[in-house]
Structure 1
Amino acid sequence: MKTVSKLSAAILTSLLFSSAAIQAATQQQIDAALAPVKSAAMLQATLSQPSALDALGDELPAFIASIQFSNAAGQATFDNSQLQTNLTATEVYQILALFGQQSTIGQYPDALAYSDTDRLLLENAVLPFCSADSPIKLRVILKNDNQVKFNYRQAGVACDGNVELTENTSITYKLVHTKRTPKGLRITGAGFTNPFDAHIKRVTVGEDGQSLTLENDISNTGVSKWQFIFSNDDSDLILVSPDPQVINRPS
């Protein structure tokens, strides 16, 4: 009976994940189909009246110049660098919604959060896994309430810090400093929930404390939960990150 129960639970879990994935895909299709702006003509009509685009201010001309539409589906592509700074999460969401891309709000973790709506949008955003293909850029930001926020970006795209691996490889994280990064922030090591499970076989910290590389052992499958360990010039206390994960899952 226990075996049947476990199997039933596994099947149910699989169905729930599949259902969630289908619902997400369907919602994205609905958003795209109902997008108010799907052509250059629609864009010009939107620009002729007040709209969410007004929040871009002086950045609006550069953003508009970067927009291109697919002839087949009317899907818009654009340079999203103008959406990365000085806009609230709500403003970013409303601009994305014009093009049916509001589900990508998770790609803008640095959007300003002044209202409960801003915070709700950012807290519920689902980010993709990072990969081992290129360095993962880590930003550590000290917010106005003295809480620390960690975010990850790879090739200009936000990701959640977790990596799923199917072979032996190395994962490199690099610190990126901003005006809101704690002064003198340095990586001093990595702490593991269980350092004896052998999912990760080696950790190397760069001499300047600005990078960390993990090497995995794919023969030991499973999830390794760990934390960055930092030192900084503003406090004698050690700073640790929320748990990123490395998942060894052979193909």
Structure 2
Amino acid sequence: MPTTQAASLIQVVVNLENGEPVFSYQTTSGQPLPNGDITVTEAGTLTYQLVDNTGKGLKFVGVGFTTPFDGIIDAITVSSDGQLVQMLDMDRSAGSTKFQFVLTNTANTLMVLSPDPEVKNLPPN
């Protein structure tokens, strides 16, 4: 799992394969992030930028957490244009949390869910 510092930008790339959305994650320099999993070592904001290669007008509308009360991620915001999600991580709690991005599209009224990347907080030194 790659280690990430504060103010990291992660691209969420969505392509269509056989008519279905396929998600991948990478740094802005193009380095792949397998499964989108990252490790955080200090407090900061993780910014996820949508790269929609589907032609379906995808937009972020939220993030769903399987364990929303674990204290790993402290808050999220979605940009008004739906292209960015920012997650505030104060790095006060050690552990990991899984989540899914929730997206809308212009092809229909159904929501799209991403696979579940993971954020892992290392214990403070």
Where on the TM-score scale, by shorter chain, does this alignment land: which range?
0.7 to 0.9
Q: Tell me the distance in 2 between the aligned counterparts of 1:210 and 1:221.
A: 29
1:243 paired to 2:120:
no
1:176 aligned to 51, 62, 69, which one?
Answer: 51
Unaligned runs of 5+ in 2: none
- Give, in whole Å, the separation in 2 of the partners of 1:183 and 1:192: 25
TM-score with structure 1 setting the length: 0.46
Higher strand share: 2
> RCO (CA 8 Å, sep 6+): is it higher in 1 or 2?
2
Q: Does 1:165 align with 2:45?
A: no
- Corresponding residue of 2:105: 232
Partner of 2:11: 137
Deviations along 1:62-103, one digit per CA (max 9) or x if unpaired, are xxxxxxxxxxxxxxxxxxxxxxxxxxxxxxxxxxxxxxxxxx
Is 1:219–2:92 an aligned residue pair? yes
1:207 aligns with 2:77: no
- Which one-letter code corresponds to 1:221 in the other structure? A
Distance 2:119 2:33 in 1: 14
Question: Secondary structure of 2:52's match?
Answer: coil
- SS of the residue corresponding to residue 142 of structure 1 reads strand
Residue type at the aligned position of 2:40: L
2:65–2:98 CA contact under 8 A, matched in 1: yes
Share of identical aligned residues, percent?
36
| Residue ranges of structure 1 left out of the alignment (5+ in a row) | 1-127
**1:220 alignment partner AA:** S
**Contact 1:182 1:234 (8 Å CA) reproduced:** no
Deviation at 1:177, TM superposition (A): 2.7
> Radius of gyration: which is bigger?
1
Q: Distance in 2 between matches of 1:182 and 1:193?
A: 29
Distance in structure 2 (CA, Å) of the matches to 1:130 and 1:226 = 18
- Normalised to the residue count of structure 2, the TM-score between the two structures is 0.88
Find runs of 4+ consecutive structure 1 residues off by over 2 angstroms: 128-134
Q: Is the 8 A contact 1:163 1:246 kept in 2?
A: yes
Alpha-carbon deviation of 1:163? 1.4
CA distance in 2, matches of 1:236, 1:198: 32
Q: Is the 8 A contact 1:190 1:227 kept in 2?
A: yes
